[in-house]
Amino acid sequence: MHGLSRDGTVGVTVDLAGYIDHTLLKQDATAKDIQCLCGEAVAYHFASVCVNPCRVRMAADFLKGSSVKVCTVIGFPLGANETETKAFEARKAIEAGADELDMVLNIGLLKDGKEEFVRKDITAVVQVAKERGAIVKVILETCLLTRDEKSRACGLCKEAGADYVKTSTGFSASGATVEDVELLRREVGADMGVKASGGIRTRQQALDMIHHGATRIGTSSGIAIVQS
């Protein structure tokens, strides 16, 4: 997918489009906006579109027959829903056509030390997804966590069987950083994906994230990134 230059930076052979979840999660996004998003994803060969749950069916219908996946969000953006609600939301999203689920970790309960609850919360969504052939990315909201909490969260995601850890919702105090991507990659190892999301608007930012371990990029600036 990509090559490294002699100085260790990601080379120009990176297929950035293949890393990008083309994202539109604004609450005022219209049907026309979603159709435009899907058309752009097909035209630029992005990995997926990431839309709110109520737009999954529309996106799935538009993208039918294409290689672009449909991604949606669960327990978004706070992660504070009941576990049963997250599992129900996950099932409904997959039934509507979602291939990938980006669920938000219960951040407050992680901070309370309720690790067993947090693990079960993730596991409930993972079980629904695995039974139906979907993948799960767990959003940690790294800007709200200490280094130790990030490490603990990664461990819980691994134990629960999640496919990815993801830095951010894009709706909190700040988004992805190279340091956090590097930390998440180190914690989850080579067998899980790392999605960098939040504030990634330039090609160089995307390349830096990939160089430090990201295997997916969540952004609403995908076209600007691949055209630059």
| Residue partners of 177: CB distance under 8 A and separation at least 6 | 142, 167
Reply yes or no on whether 148 is catalytic.
no
Burial of 12 (0-12, 13-18, 19+ CB in 10 A): exposed
Which two three-digit tokens encode residue 217? 């990029």
Q: What is the CA radius of gyration of the chain?
A: 16
Of 150, 166, 180, 208, catalytic: 166
Is 69 noted as a catalytic residue in this protein?
no
For tokens 């693990």, the residue is 119
Instruction: Indicate if 195 belongs to the active site.
Output: yes
Q: Given 69, 137, 150, 195, which residue is catalytic?
A: 195
Annotated catalytic residue within 21, 102, 121, 163: 102
Three-class DSSP category at 228: coil
Q: DSSP strand E in the chain: where?
A: 20-24, 48-51, 69-74, 100-104, 135-139, 164-166, 193-197, 216-219
State the catalytic residues.
Answer: 102, 166, 195
